[in-house]
Amino acid sequence: MARGEGKWLVVVPVLMFAAVFVASRFFFNRFVAFRIKPIYQILLSKSVRTHELSQKADPVGHIEDELNRWAEKNAREIARLKENERYRKEFLGNVSHEIKTPIFTLQGYIVTLLDGAIEDKAVNRKYLERSEKNIDRLIHIVDDLEEISKLEAGAPVLEKECFDVVALVREIADSLEMDAARRRIGIRVGNPHGQPPVPVTADRRRIAQVITNLLSNSIKYGREGGETRIGFVDMFDRVLVEVKDDGIGIAEENIPRVFERFFRVDKSRSREQGGTGLGLAIVKHILEAHGERITLRSKLGEGSAFSFTLSKK
């Protein structure tokens, strides 16, 4: 390999990484701006009041009295703003951690290549392939951040249509077949004796995202050599979809937290497989936008079952 060509193999991943990093900062800033907007509104309101009070004889005393009265009347709002600030700091810390990990890994590979490893064809190929995986992880993080920011900024516009949810599940299961095969996990869709079509009305693209996230989660935390089953239950005007595995399960005290952003049951396995910790939060928001709910049954060491409903109409 020519030295000039080798350098381009390093430059291209660096440029891709820079683009992903800039995009991640953009979506993060937009998300945070939405979360702290109420704080700016209140500060603006107080500045107007302060300006009016400054015309009086004792503006400092009047401002203090006004702020005290405001605090008494708005104790709940103050608590909410403090919670928003706590959330903002926690979110920033989580995002920073998620982005730093692939960044530092990329940096290590690139420095090694620049120090001479690029001349070794076998080594530079291995490091470039690993760099590509970390770039893919960064892109996945940015995509999830963009999605969660849109969902939390308000109800998304849903493009509802009638489709067969069984066919959609089979399509997604086929796309994840190689991931499941690596862990020798079988995926069974519907009744083994014959599953009829189940028509539902929803945003097909977003429900596909829900099913993809749930199946990916099931494969990631499933028991090696185990099985993931997707079942369908007719509930008159609705259908219940259940994704069940025989994996590691979830401790009872952690069940209420699984739909929180960045929460992980098994942090070491999530780090190893590159999860963002936003998948289940996105699932919850998408279903809530449809007016539906998701529930979880799980027992540590025995597996988990995620269930959600969809309208037939």
pLDDT single digits (tens) 8-49: 555 555 556 556 565 665 665 565 555 555 554 554 455 545
- Cα distances from 115 to residues 7, 111, 130, in angstroms, run 11, 6, 17
- At 32, the amino acid letter reads V
pLDDT band at 134, cuts 50/70/90?
confident
pLDDT band at 266, cuts 50/70/90?
low
pLDDT band at 191, cuts 50/70/90?
confident
State which fold the 160-311 domain adopts: Heat Shock Protein 90 (3.30.565)
Residue ranges, comma separated, of all CATH 3.30.565.10 domains in the chain are 160-311
Winning range, highest mean pLDDT, from 139-153, 156-170, 247-261: 156-170
Q: Quote the mean pLDDT of the chain.
A: 77
Determine what percent of the chain is predicted with pLDDT higher than 90.
28
The Cα–Cα gap between 187 and 182 comes to 13
pLDDT band at 68, cuts 50/70/90?
confident
pTM above 0.75, yes or no: no
pLDDT of 141 over the 80 cut: no
Q: What is the DSSP letter of 235?
A: E
pLDDT band at 53, cuts 50/70/90?
very low
What is the pLDDT, as a whole number, of residue 305?
Answer: 94
Torsion angle, CA of 221/222/223/226, rounded to 10 degrees?
Answer: -170
Nearest in space to 227 (alpha carbons), one of 172, 174, 188: 188
Nearest in space to 278 (alpha carbons), one of 108, 126, 99: 99
What is the pLDDT, as a whole number, of residue 87?
Answer: 65
